[in-house]
Amino acid sequence: MFTNRKSGTIHRRRVQLAAAYLAAVALTFTAASCGSPSGSGSAPVPVPPATGDPVSAQTTALGTILVDGRGRTIYQFANDKNNTSTCAAACLDNWPYVPAPDSLPTSSPGVSGKVGSITRDDGHRQLTVAGHPLYTFVVDSSPGQTNGQGINLNGGVWTVVSPAGAPLANPSPASAATQTSIAPGY
pLDDT tens digit at each of 186 positions of the chain? 444 555 555 545 554 554 454 444 444 333 333 333 333 444 556 666 666 678 999 888 888 999 998 999 999 999 999 899 999 999 999 999 999 999 988 878 899 999 999 999 999 999 999 999 999 999 999 998 999 999 999 999 999 999 999 998 776 544 333 333 333 333
**17 in the same domain as 74:** no
Q: How many CA atoms lie within 13 A of 169 on its CB side?
A: 5
pLDDT computed for residue 176 by the predictor: 37
* Residue among 98, 51, 92 nearest 75 (CA): 98
**150 in the same domain as 72:** yes
* Residue among 38, 41, 43 nearest 177 (CA): 43
Answer whether residue 177 is part of any domain. no
**51 in the same domain as 30:** no
pLDDT computed for residue 33 by the predictor: 36
Q: How many domains does the chain have?
A: 2
**107 in the same domain as 69:** yes
Answer whether residue 54 is part of any domain. yes
**77 in the same domain as 26:** no
**51 in the same domain as 106:** yes
**106 in the same domain as 60:** yes
Burial class (CB in 10 A: 0-12, 13-18, 19+), 8: exposed
Q: What is the DSSP letter of 41?
A: -
Answer whether residue 11 is part of any domain. yes
Range of the domain at 7: 1-35
**75 in the same domain as 132:** yes
**78 in the same domain as 13:** no
Q: Are 115 and 102 in contact (CB under 8 A)?
A: no
What is the Rg, in whole angstroms, of the alpha carbon atoms belonging to the chain? 17
**57 in the same domain as 16:** no
- Produce one character per residue of 59-95: b if its CB has 16 or more CB atoms within 10 Å, e if not: ebbbbbbbbbeebbbbbbbeebeeeebebeebbbebb
